[in-house]
Chain A
Amino acid sequence: MIMEISETIKVGAVFSAEGGKGIRKVHPKWFVWEGRKYTIKEVNYTWKELQGSEDLYCFSVTDGANNYELSFNSKRVVWVLNKVF
């Protein structure tokens, strides 16, 4: 069952340059949705999309119970919870 959410949320994430090659990575660690904090246990999948000229970094993550699709708009510096599944 997929629930479309599309709500701006607060996310705690680590931004890092890995492997000494300057490859930038984003690791979401937790997010707050409707007043509840969810700890991300695993990032299942990551991909990038274009929304016009803006990059969206997308993450399929799990808190151990459910899966969530988050996206980060690097230009607007906004996180969105797209779906729960």
Chain B
Amino acid sequence: MPSPRTILHVDMNSYFASVEQAANPKLRGKPIAVGGGTGGKTTIVAACSYEAKAKGVKTGMGAWEAKKICPEIIIVAGDMSKYIYTSSEIFKILRNYTDLFEAFSIDEGFMDVTATKERFGGEIMLAKEIKQRIREAFRLTCSIGIGPNKFLAKLAGELKKPDGLVILRSEDIPEKIKDVPVNKLCGVGRKLEKYLAAMGVRTFLELHRYPREKLIKRFGTVYGDHLWHMGQGLDNSPVMPYPQIEESKSMGHSYTMPEYTSDIKEVKAYLLLLSEQVGKRLRSGNYSGNTVHLTLGFGNYNFWGKQKKLAEYLDDGYDIFKTAEFLFDKNFSGNTRDPFRFVGISVSGLLRNISQPGLFPEKQAAGKILKAVDAINDRYGEQTVKRAATMNTILHEKVGMAPKNFVKPSV
């Protein structure tokens, strides 16, 4: 029997909004929402402060809806550079306590402190020290969950927000969390919650008591068994430090436009710009992909998506764009339906370090040009050199939650 582990889950509270409140004293104690813009028609609430949450504002709402619920809300344009930097500094702090740290997202991570906790006076002292260091360095609070595995550590962290510190031990299962709704469990989304509710499973205790064979019958061997393990509070998955994390499965960029548009030329210019960004990311990681996905969002909040699998592997933004354009033209030529508000491009079917020297001189020359353009943009900032067709897009700095160096305004 493996020896018990001690896992910490560190989750920054209302992260983007808290960073903005820390950086601007005038926003502290006020309901604020962070979005891609400052409250235009298409701005979506990407994060909101606890003061806004208390008034009923939720992540994913339109800014107009947030303003309706909470008229005094302040909408702040997100600044990804600030969040990425802060996150990397916080992760540096966490790595001071163990080499087994896994970044789960920009604002949360797992730490396996089984072997190191005693050096810091045990897991509770260690967690308190982390909270204090983060508070002192950034004026930010975090919730820390401690458990014998990642699943219970994350769940423990969910139980008290903001600024919580909760421990769940194996012996606490199921009693201490029996009334926790299943939608609080990591991996249970709205759809699964609905399926489980139809089976009479709404709380942790109900999942805990549900027969394993019935879960397997309903959800299949792999997922049914996974759900049963969840219900028992079991999870053997290791904390995976960065170098062991799986290879990327897809890479993409998306953008919510500042205004609705029915101008196909404008939409295509955004597609080209985003395709170039995806191509750049693929090349910098030595990836190529053979499946291009196009996603479009409309003024009526509907989304549409199509994908195309290719015989060859791509890493050139223009090739990615041509595939996306093919998908677009096939479905939208001369018919703009509702105006567009969102565009997204991603490439999957990724392979790494494959060398596909072009047979034709044109292809070889294009490869050389891309290399030179990448070098210039690395040195002087993204989009210093870009295709002329994208010059009319207004993908400004800090709009669309893009990092500051994501793209420079057109001149």
Contact flags B372-411 to A (C-beta < 8 A → 1, else 0): 0000011111001000000000000000000111000000
For residue B117, give the distance in angstroms from its CB to the closest CB of chain A: 24
Output the nearest chain B residue to A83 by Cβ-Cβ distance. Answer: B24
Query: A residues within 8 A CB of B365?
Result: none
> Closest residue to B83 on the A side, CB-wise?
A47
Contact across chains for B378 and A52 when beta carbons are under 8 A apart: yes
Q: Identify which of residues 36-65 in chain A touch chain B, using a CB-to-CB cut-off of 8 Å.
A: 44-45, 47-53, 58, 60, 62
- Contact size range, A: 10 to 19
Bound-complex Cα distance A45 to B18 (A) = 12
With A52-B381, A53-B378, A53-B379 as given contacts, are A47 and B24 in contact (CB-CB < 8 Å)?
no
* Smallest beta-carbon distance A61→chain B, Å: 10
Interfacial chain A residues near B380, Cβ < 8 Å: 52-53
Determine the main DSSP class of A at the interface with B: strand
Whether the Cβ atoms of A67 and B24 lie closer than 8 Å is yes
Contact of A45 among B23, B379, B384, B403 (CB under 8 A): B23
B22 interface contact, C-beta 8 A: yes
A49 touches B26 (CB 8 A): no
A58: chain B residues within 8 A (beta carbon): 82
Chain A residue at minimal CB-CB distance from B382? A52
Closest to B19 in A: A45
User: Which residues of A lie under 8 Å from residue B381 when comparing CB positions?
Assistant: 51-52
Within 8 A of A (CB), among B341-392: 377-381, 384
Contact of A52 among B22, B82, B405 (CB under 8 A): B405
Q: Which of A44, A49, A60 contacts B404 (CB 8 A)?
A: A49
**Given A52-B384, A53-B378: A45 touches B26 (CB 8 Å cut-off):** no
Known: A52-B379, A52-B384, A53-B379. A47 touches B85 (CB 8 A): yes
A49 touches B81 (CB 8 A): yes
In the complex, what residues of A have CB within 8 A of residue B23's CB? 44-45, 60
B285 on interface, CB distance cutoff 8 Å: no
In the complex, the chain A residue whose C-beta lies closest to that of B86 is A47
Does A33 sit at the interface, judged by CB under 8 A? no
Does B211 interact with chain A (Cβ within 8 Å)?
A: no
Residues of B within 8 A of A51 (CB): 381, 404-405
Taking the complex as formed, is B56 at the interface, i.e. its CB lies under 8 A from any CB of chain A?
no
- 30 sampled A-B residue pairs with Cβ under 8 A: A44-B23, A45-B19, A45-B22, A45-B23, A45-B82, A45-B138, A45-B139, A47-B85, A47-B86, A48-B85, A49-B81, A49-B85, A49-B404, A50-B405, A51-B381, A52-B377, A52-B378, A52-B380, A52-B381, A52-B384, A52-B405, A53-B378, A53-B379, A58-B82, A60-B23, A62-B25, A67-B24, A67-B25, A67-B26, A85-B24
Question: Residues of A with Cβ closer than 8 Å to B?
Answer: 44-45, 47-53, 58, 60, 62, 67, 85
